[in-house]
Structures are given as structure tokens and as C-alpha cells.
Amino acid sequence: MGKVIAYYQPLGRLKNFVNITLVMFFLFSFHVLVVYYLKNIFGYDINSLEYIMVKMWKELLLVAMIVGFVLSRVVSVNQSTTKLIFLDYLVTINILLGVLFLLIAENLLVGLWSFRSLFEIYGFYVLGRVCSYSFQDYRMFFRMLLLAGVLTSIFGVIQVEYLGVDFFYDIYGVDDIAIALTSWDYEKLRASSSFISPHEFGLFLVISIISFYYLIKTDNEKRKIYFTAFLIIIVGLIYSLSRSSYVILFVFIVIVSIKNRAFVFYGLAFLLVSYFALDALGILANIQSIFSGEDTSSSGRLDVLARAIDEYMKHPLGSGLGSVGVVVRRFNPEAPQFEGEIFNILVMLGPAGIFLHLLIYWTIFQKAFSLSIKNVSEKVQRISMVMILVIAALFLRELILPRDFTNYSIGWFLIGNYMSLTNALTIRISGYESNQ
């Protein structure tokens, strides 16, 4: 079986397209900074056609990439990566459900914007399905994410220590976007780096740490470089003051420790050092203020579930797209927003929507978990473990906060690519075993 897996190289893939995906996702790490800068330079209104077209460069590139990969299959078709799988059907049904709720939306424009927010991530799933990565390509991809994590971390520190509040006013047009004030006398900017919020920045750094985990397992020659990058990213994560990202990182450590008992010592040591570092910087006091109820940035989040259920009970089958969510507030500032994307999906799409959403996550997790413990190649086990961590990070984020573009585009691209890779390997292994 090992020989079959080692032999695997995706057929019909264009190396240039693979390299373009690396550049594309690297640019995603900085697109918010550039887009907002252009918005303020030219004075675009947030709902103006010009501003929307500037923001849509990502979607246009996505469509072009999918078309390019599909056309490459016309000449050399890789049956194992183009064959539909169960997850493809689930994603399609979920999108069709979204279209149904879009057609009955009270305001088609607002509903369309809400549809884009919820379902455009599946475009990156499709891109991942048609883009065939080899294990070497995965290593390049994770190196790119680690590099982006280092650069954004350095910029985040510079942002807080040197650029200050004026930077946020000049770029984002506001003067209080990243200020964290608590009754614990912690008064410091929260780094958002090249992202729209500290939470998005923090989650990106967690995904970069997941990349670090994969790289130290597969590339021993550059371990010192990777560890140096890891330490820089940790500093950036601390400056983000994203407590949701801290929670996700803690879950990451627990999952890895369960899988690898030898990692328990390093995980405990990391948590201990982190505790004293957070305490010395005054951030620990900020975290403690959540539980005291004195932190205005966290007040009200504990009752968000009750409010979401109350709203859901008004529309048991779903209130429709464009009725709730942070993206709706660009059109209706008074629209309800339940922080966690899971709750927004429940309210808008009802029981059918939330069931499909959870089933999709479960299908991915089940596939990754089964391959992470099976007697297969170490390469397959490692990438499966990475997928478990990515799924956990995305799902936990949806329990706490709305989705963001960059992290979810990366996550769902990896999911689509992983499903194609493992499906191809399964078919090849089955064919190899049947010929024995």
C-alpha cells in the first residue's frame, strides 16, 4: 500500500495553476488593507458599485481559476479527482437550499449579499476539488501560510507599537476599531494587522501555527527556521488579543496531545510560558474581565444563544436570507446579529439549513479522523490530522463569531483539495489490492 501512495501524483494538473493558488492565497492575507486604503483614497461609499467591484477581485480570480483547472482536465482527465463524492452532493443541496431562501427573500439585494457571505466559501471548495495538490504542493502551501503569518505578525506589532490609532483612522476611516479598554486598566491597541479585525487576524495566525505543525513533521531540515517563525507568530497572536483565537489554539494543543502523547509535555510547557507572558503583558487581566462581566467587548455574548432561539421561534422554518447577520447591517444597521455564524444560519435557514451545515462538517471530520488512525501512509495521516485541526478551528470560530473571508477561503480550499487527494488514493489503493 505504501508503494501505491508514494507513486501517487495527480494527473492532468498544471503546475503553473498550482503556483497561482499559492500567490492568490498569499494576497488574500493583505487584501483588506489594500481594499480599504483604495476606498479612502478614492472616497468610495461602502455600498457604491466602484467599491464593490474593487472587493470582488477575489471572486473574479476564483472563477477564472476554476475555469482554468476544469479546462486543463479536458486534455487529461483525472477520474479520481473529478468523480463526485458524498460531500459534493451535500454541498450542492445546501447551495440549492440557499437559492430557495434567496428567491423568497424580502429584499433580493440584501438577500444576495447574505447568500454571498454564507455560500461563496463553497467556491473555494470547488477550486480545491479540481486543483490536484501533491504532498510536495501541500508543503509549499503551508510554507506560504507560515511566511504570511510571520509577515502579518511583524506588521501587527509595528501597528500597535509605532503606528497607533492614527493608522486605523487613515486606513479604515475609524478611530476606535481596535481599542481594548477594560476596568482592569488594560489600555492598548489590539493588532488587526492586514485584516479587518483582531479576531480574523488571530484565527489566521492559528491556521499558520497548524501549518507549522505540518511542516515540522515533514521537513526536518528546516526545523530551526520553522520554530523561529512559530515564535514570531505567537508574539503576533498575543498582540491580537483575540481571546477566541486563544481558545481555538488551546483546543489545537489538546487535539494534538491526544494524538501524540509525546506532545503533552511540550503543550503543557507552552501553556505555562504563555500564562506568565500574558500576565506580564497585562493581557491576562483582560481575559479575566470576561468572567467578571466588566469587559464591554464580551458582555452579552453569554446570552446570545437565548436571543437566537427567541428569534428562531418567531420563524421556525427560517426567517430567510438577508434577515440577520453582520453583512446585512451594511444595508440595515438595526438588523439583529448573533455573533456566532451557527446561530445566524439557524435563524435564517431554519432546521434544514443547520442540519445540512452540521452534516457537512461531520462528513469531513469523519473522513479525516478515520484516515488519521488507519494503517496508511504517514503522509496521509499527517494531512488528515491537519484537516481535523482546520475543521475544528473553523467550527469553533462559527460558534463564537461570524465567518471571515480569508480564513474560510483557505480552510475550504484545503477541504476540497483533501477530499480529492484522499478519494484518489482510495481508488488507487482499491485497484492495487484487487490486482493482488
Distance CA 136, CA 117 (A): 32
Stronger pLDDT, 233 or 286, i.e. the higher one: 233
Cell of 102: 434567496
Q: What is the pLDDT confidence band of residue 323, given thresholds at 50, 70 and 90?
A: confident
pLDDT at 432 over 70: no
pLDDT at 124 over 90: yes
pLDDT of residue 301: 59
pLDDT of residue 77: 47
Distance CA 114, CA 345 (A): 10
Stronger pLDDT, 178 or 422, i.e. the higher one: 422
Q: What is the pLDDT confidence band of residue 51, given thresholds at 50, 70 and 90?
A: confident
Count of structural domains within the chain: 1
Q: Taking the mean position of all CA atoms in its chain, how far away is CA 278?
A: 25
Q: What is the pLDDT confidence band of residue 80, given thresholds at 50, 70 and 90?
A: very low
pLDDT of residue 178: 45
Q: Compute the mean pLDDT over every residue in the chain, rounded to the nearest whole number.
A: 80
pLDDT at 28 over 80: yes
Give mean pLDDT, residues 111-121: 90
Distance CA 389, CA 210 (A): 7
Does the pTM surpass 0.85? The reply is: yes
DSSP-assigned states of every residue in 261-318: TTHHHHHHHHHHHHHHHHHHHTHHHHHHHHHHT--TTTTTGGGHHHHHHHHHHHSTT-
Q: What torsion do the CA atoms of 52, 55, 61, 62 make, to the nearest 10 degrees?
A: -90
pLDDT of residue 150: 97
Which range scores top for mean pLDDT: 39-43, 204-208, 379-383? 204-208
Which 8-state DSSP code applies to residue 375?
S
% of the chain beyond a pLDDT of 90: 31
pLDDT tens by residue, 349-403:
999 999 999 999 999 999 999 998 887 788 899 999 999 999 999 999 998 888 8
Average the pLDDT over each of 11-25, 50-64, 233-247, 409-423 and give the range with the smallest value: 11-25
Give mean pLDDT, residues 396-413: 92
Bridge-partner residues for 188, per DSSP? 180
pLDDT at 286 over 50: yes
pLDDT of residue 423: 83
pLDDT at 409 over 80: yes
pLDDT of residue 340: 83
Give mean pLDDT, residues 230-237: 91
pLDDT of residue 434: 46
Three-class secondary structure of residue 426 per DSSP: helix
pLDDT of residue 299: 52
Q: What is the pLDDT confidence band of residue 70, given thresholds at 50, 70 and 90?
A: confident
pLDDT at 435 over 50: no
pLDDT at 1 over 50: no
pLDDT at 153 over 90: yes
DSSP-assigned states of every residue in 95-116: HHHHHHHHHT-SSHHHHHHHHH
pLDDT of residue 146: 96
pLDDT at 290 over 60: no
C-alpha distances (whole Å) from 57 to each of 28, 29, 186, 416 are: 10, 14, 39, 21
Q: What is the pLDDT confidence band of residue 171, given thresholds at 50, 70 and 90?
A: low
Give mean pLDDT, residues 301-322: 80
pLDDT at 330 over 80: no
Which range scores top for mean pLDDT: 26-40, 77-91, 170-184, 220-234? 220-234
- State the residue range of the domain holding 275: 2-434
pLDDT of residue 293: 47
Do residues 371 and 391 make contact, with C-beta atoms less than 8 angstroms apart?
no
Average the pLDDT over each of 66-80, 165-179, 324-338 and give the range with the smallest value: 165-179
pLDDT of residue 63: 87
